[in-house]
């Protein structure tokens, strides 16, 4: 199968600009994984523990200080993988497209350019959707599994593993859906103690679902503390009261409620990106979303169609496939989220 880029009908820089404008702000976890464009398709992370364990020693005058131990450094690296989606024009649109190309189109033939821009935007949305699914995995599993490129069951799927300690994935002894018997305040105190011991700081927030927040509003431990702390105990506990109870009990990080949904990878419809039974630590600077240049972006830059500095990120282009004949619009990227600090990841099943 051979193909060639089409650059003389639709302005490709304008098409890319349109797609990026349409997809801007579509990464709901971008504050946790800010976007960074890079000029390579490989990444290498130097992970250094925040806690060194060193304590200075008093010494006598005119004696040398003792030597300290540097923290162990872990190098994590890998390739930034490509992803994308294409749409094929139908036969009628191919006729209209070639009339545009020949300069003999009438005003109604502009519909084919609208279709191309729409297809490119849809492909761009699909790219961002897949990256969002990867964000959810990184936050809850400390790794990103490219299930499209291998069988997870047989263990040959490609995995970007960022070395999160196993003790940072826990399950509550009694799930918080048991509002009579569970002890979420006690649990979260323990989670924060583990997190602080590893990082010497608390999370910026604990991300939970609206379902978990509803459980907390009905939880006996939470309600008992809320009713004991005021002369006029509330009959109904809302999210503000839940937050106030946890803060009064000594929990440092506030709750953030998130119910992000995206199309499921298996095509079964929209699904939650993060399970509604998870409590997830989030902290600024814990990760990044790396966008590198795709091969097609490099080709377009090499031909002078786009600037080299514009190659990283979501791009779109049109190509003419010769055998079989087709005109295809593609939106793609080379991108992956990475965890910069593996100790910052903490996820509890509740």
Strands (E), 200-295: 205-208, 255-257, 261-263, 270-272, 278-282, 287-292
Return d(Cα 279, Cα 214) in angstroms, integer: 14
Look at residue 247 and give its three-state secondary structure: helix
Strands (E), 53-204: 74-79, 82-88, 143-146, 158-161, 169-171
pTM given for the model: 0.88
- Higher pLDDT: 79 or 109? It is 79
Look at residue 100 and give its three-state secondary structure: helix
Residues making up the chain, counted from first to last = 350
Fold of 3-47+77-162+284-337: putative capsid protein of prophage fold (3.15.30)
Identify which of 277, 211, 32 has the alpha carbon closest to the alpha carbon of residue 139: 32
DSSP code per residue over 295-350: HHHHHHHHTTSS-GGG-SS-EEEEEEETTTTEEEEEEEEEEEEEES-GGG--EEE-
Q: Above 70 in pLDDT, residue 240?
A: yes
| pLDDT of res. 233 | 63
Nearby residues of 276 by Cβ (< 8 Å), 6 or more positions away? 209, 210, 211, 212, 259
Q: Give tens-digit pLDDT for 202-212.
A: 999 999 999 99
Residue 153 phi, psi dihedral angles, 5° rounding: -60, -45
Given pLDDT bands bounded at 50, 70 and 90, which one contains residue 301? Answer: very high
Return d(Cα 233, Cα 105) in angstroms, integer: 73
Secondary structure percentages of the chain, helix, strand, coil, to 5: 35, 25, 40
| pLDDT of res. 2 | 63
Q: How crowded is residue 46: how many other Cβ atoms within 10 Å of its Cβ?
A: 10
Q: Give tens-digit pLDDT for 11-39.
A: 999 999 999 999 999 999 999 999 999 98
Token duo for residue 82 = 């490509």
| pLDDT of res. 54 | 73
Beta pairing, strands 3-5 & 315-321: antiparallel
For residue 2, CA distances in Å to 48, 89, 91, 255, 316 come to: 47, 17, 19, 53, 18
Residues linked to residue 165 through DSSP beta bridges, in sequence order: none
| pLDDT of res. 72 | 56
Q: Give tens-digit pLDDT for 189-238.
A: 999 999 999 999 999 999 999 999 999 999 999 999 988 866 666 677 89
Domain positions in the chain = 3-47+77-162+284-337
Q: What is the distance between the terminal CA atoms of the chain, rounded to a whole angstrom?
A: 51
| pLDDT of res. 191 | 98
């Amino acid at each position: 199968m051979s193909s060639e880029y089409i650059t003389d009908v639709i302005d490709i820089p304008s098409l890319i600009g349109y797609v990026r404008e349409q997809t801007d702000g579509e990464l709901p976890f971008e504050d946790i994984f800010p976007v960074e464009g890079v000029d390579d398709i490989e990444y290498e992370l130097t992970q250094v523990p925040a806690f060194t364990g060193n304590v200075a020693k008093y010494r006598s005058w005119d004696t040398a200080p003792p030597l300290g131990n540097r923290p162990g450094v872990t190098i994590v690296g890998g390739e930034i993988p490509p992803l994308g989606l294409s749409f094929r024009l139908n036969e009628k649109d191919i006729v209209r497209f070639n009339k545009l190309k020949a300069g003999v189109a009438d005003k109604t033939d502009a519909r084919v350019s609208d279709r191309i821009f729409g297809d490119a935007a849809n492909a761009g949305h699909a790219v961002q959707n897949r990256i969002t699914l990867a964000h959810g995995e990184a936050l809850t599993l400390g790794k990103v599994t490219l299930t499209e490129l291998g069988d997870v069951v047989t263990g040959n799927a490609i995995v970007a593993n960022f070395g999160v300690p196993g003790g940072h994935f826990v399950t509550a002894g009694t799930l918080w859906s048991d509002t009579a018997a569970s002890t979420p305040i006690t649990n979260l105190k323990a989670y924060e103690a583990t997190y602080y011991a590893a990082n010497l700081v608390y999370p910026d927030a604990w991300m939970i679902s609206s379902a978990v927040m509803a459980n907390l509003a009905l939880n006996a431990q939470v309600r008992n503390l809320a009713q004991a702390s005021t002369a006029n105990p509330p009959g109904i506990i809302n999210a503000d009261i839940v937050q106030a109870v946890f803060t009064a009990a000594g929990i440092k990080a506030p709750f953030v409620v998130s119910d992000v949904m995206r199309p499921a990878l298996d095509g079964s419809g929209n699904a939650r990106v993060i399970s509604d039974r998870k409590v997830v630590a989030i902290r600024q600077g814990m990760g990044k979303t790396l966008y590198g240049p795709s091969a097609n972006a490099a080709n377009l830059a090499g031909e002078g169609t786009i600037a080299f500095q514009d190659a990283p990120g979501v791009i779109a282009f049109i190509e003419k496939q010769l055998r079989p004949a087709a005109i295809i619009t593609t939106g793609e990227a080379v991108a992956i989220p990475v965890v910069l600090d593996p100790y910052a990841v903490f996820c509890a099943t509740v």
